[in-house]
Amino acid sequence: MQARADRTYQTRDFYFAATLCALGMELIDLDRADPRHAGFVFRDDRRRREWTRQYFAGELRLDPVLLFNSSRGLKRAVYETGQPLPIRVMPREAMAAS
């Protein structure tokens, strides 16, 4: 995981990336330099440091539906090379309205 000078943040941790998507961070690119592990590049957010701390301390709580949807969107982006970025997760309230 690393914060870059261009105000982006990158991680290779799939589940953490899915969590960041579920929290509303914008996935802007996939780093495919290593064919075995995709890198997930996000537009950095001022709240990301606190979310990172909470995630790794086991304190972060999310709606399971949001986490599932973000995981599904990330898998689609990794395995389907034509998947458009950024990936956005639909909040539960919006899903119920559709």
Nearest to 87 by CA among 75, 97, 76, 73: 73
Structural domains in the chain (count): 1
Residue pLDDT, tens place only, 46-55: 899 999 999 9
Tell me: pLDDT of 95 over 80. no
49 is in which domain, residue-wise? 2-97
Kindly state the average pLDDT of the residues 52-73. Answer: 93
Tell me the pLDDT band of 78, cut-offs 50, 70 and 90.
confident
- Rounded-to-integer distance, Cα 90 and Cα 71, Å: 12
